[in-house]
Amino acid sequence: MTLRRLFLISLVPCAASAVHAQAARLDATADAGVRRAVEREVVTARSIGLPEGLLIAKANEGIAKRATPKRIADAVAALGKRLQVASNQLAPNPSEDEIAAGADALYVGVPAPILKKMRAAWPNRSLALPLGVLTELVAKGLPADRAARTVTDLMTRGASNVQLYTLAQSVQGDVAAGWAPEAALDLRARGVMSLLPPAPAASAFTNPRRP
């Protein structure tokens, strides 16, 4: 037995106890099948550096909503996949908040490549809020490409998180008041644009950066 194998074996009990520690946060009424499914996803998530707490929270949500064990297990597995895709698209060093926001965006129908384009447009700042805004806009009924282009243009022009947040709030209010989502986005985006300095270049969508 080599030293390397000894080292790996010594890690197993630690990993197992950590998994149980996470699983212990599951609702006490969790079905045994759900518990196993969550543990499996947690192990996978931890091995690739994903925020496993979200998986447990999703399982607890299903338990609180009295979903069937199969539905809960499916939802946790699907979330695990989304987290993985989001992590890959937001590479190289996405934060947990970014991964969570990316998974949320994927859930509402944002295509995975858009996450990559947004990362390219904003490589050194957190994408958590822009992704949240994008999620909200897409869930509101806007085409993902259109919404992503607007958000990315604003990011490229130097819009702050507060401005992006205000944009989402304004669009939300306009839609609630009866505006068409696209018209509301156009109007509000122009309002934010008018406060920003001129664009140095076209956005990442029309002229993507080369790696």
Only segment of 1-9, 55-63, 117-125, 143-151 that touches other proteins (CB under 8 A)? 55-63
User: To 10 degrees, the CA torsion angle through 143, 90, 103, 107?
Assistant: 20
Q: Kindly report the length of the chain.
A: 211
Both tokens of 75, joined, read: 């939802």
Nearer to other proteins, 133 or 189 (CB): 133
User: To 10 degrees, the CA torsion angle through 167, 172, 173, 174?
Assistant: 90
Selected from 1, 65, 124, 198, the binder of other proteins by CB under 8 A is: 65
What residues between 108 and 137 interact with other proteins by CB under 8 A? 108, 128-129, 132-133, 135-136
CA 28/CA 120 separation, integer angstroms: 43
Minimum CB distance to other proteins, residue 57 (Å): 7
Q: Does 139 bind other proteins (CB under 8 A)?
A: yes
Selected from 57, 112, 144, 193, the binder of other proteins by CB under 8 A is: 57
CA 85/CA 138 separation, integer angstroms: 18
Nearer to other proteins, 137 or 210 (CB): 137
Selected from 104, 117, 150, 189, the binder of other proteins by CB under 8 A is: 104
Selected from 100, 106, 154, 185, the binder of other proteins by CB under 8 A is: 100
Selected from 172, 179, 186, 196, the binder of other proteins by CB under 8 A is: 172
Residue 33 has a CB neighbour count (10 Å cut-off) of 13
Positive or negative, the Cα torsion across 184, 187, 193, 194? Answer: negative
